[in-house]
Structure formats: structure tokens, C-alpha cells
């Protein structure tokens, strides 16, 4: 799983959408008192942080950007790429993580290149 939060001044900054994705084993979701477990970047220890919600943290790309990264490819090769990049994800470079995120979006959406104008 990619890191989709930032730790600033002893508080964990994350978007509400990404906070919802975190397992309940790693968070306290009591309204107004949200906390989440994360690795302390200085000591390397697991620490419980107060959560601050921000919308700019961990922003995902839209489908047009995702299809530009992947290119004009069918779903089969995209599915294989996502499987391969997911196997040892901690070894992925930043570029590979971007391709993985784009591939997941492309598997859920259609290529905007083939959208018919005026038809919903």
C-alpha cells in the first residue's frame, strides 16, 4: 500500500477518502477525535497520531490522466501490469507506483478517447 498521508508537527494529514480506506485496526474514527497509527519517520516506531483532514493530500488522478499514462491498450495487458506491479509493491519506483495507480483506474473506466460526444 502506498503512503497517502503526511506527518507534520506531530499530526497526521490525510484526506477523508484515504482515511476511510484505512483498516479499523489502525485508526480511531470517533468524530472529532480521529487518530491513526503510523510509523514515526524519525524513530521508526509505530505511533498514534492525531488526524487532520486535508483534501490536497493523496489526491488521485482522473481517468483522462490515467489513460494518458497507460496509453491505448486493452484491459488484458493492463490487468497483467497491475498484477505484476502489485506483487512486490515495496520495490516499485515512484514511476511504477504512478503506473500502478493509473492501471487500477483504467481497469474501472473506459478510455475517454472512445467517448461519443452528446451521448450519455
Total tally of structural domains belonging to the chain: 2
pTM equals 0.51
pLDDT band for position 21 (50/70/90)? confident
pLDDT given at position 83: 95
Domain termination residue (choose one: 30, 53, 76): 53
β-sheet bridge partners, residue 46: 39
> Can you give the pLDDT at residue 59?
54
Residue 114 counted as domain residue:
no
Q: Say if 12 falls within a structural domain.
A: yes
Tens-place pLDDT, residues 49-71: 999 888 654 556 788 888 998 98
Same domain, 49 and 9: yes
Kindly list the distances between the CA atom of residue 50 and the CA atoms of 22, 43, 64, 107, in Å, as whole numbers in the listed order. Answer: 15, 17, 35, 35
116 belongs to a structural domain: no
Same domain membership, residue 9 and residue 48:
yes
The three-point CA angle 79-26-50 to 5° equals 120
Q: Is residue 22 part of a domain?
A: yes
Q: Is the dihedral of CA 28, 33, 34, 35 positive or negative?
A: negative
Same domain, 80 and 105: yes
Which domain does 27 fall in, by range?
A: 5-53
Amino acid at each position: 500500500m502506498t503512503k497517502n498521508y503526511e506527518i507534520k508537527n506531530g499530526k497526521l494529514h490525510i484526506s477523508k477518502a484515504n482515511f476511510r480506506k484505512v483498516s479499523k485496526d489502525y485508526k480511531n474514527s470517533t468524530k472529532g477525535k480521529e487518530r491513526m497509527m503510523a510509523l514515526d519517520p524519525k524513530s521508526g516506531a509505530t505511533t498514534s497520531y492525531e488526524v487532520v483532514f486535508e483534501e490536497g493530500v493523496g489526491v488521485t488522478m482522473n481517468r483522462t490522466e490515467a489513460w494518458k499514462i497507460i496509453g491505448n491498450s486493452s484491459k488484458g495487458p493492463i490487468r497483467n501490469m497491475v498484477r505484476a506491479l502489485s506483487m512486490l509493491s515495496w520495490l516499485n519506483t515512484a514511476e511504477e507506483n504512478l503506473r500502478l495507480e493509473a492501471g487500477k483506474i483504467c481497469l474501472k473506466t473506459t478510455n475517454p478517447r472512445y467517448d461519443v460526444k452528446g451521448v450519455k
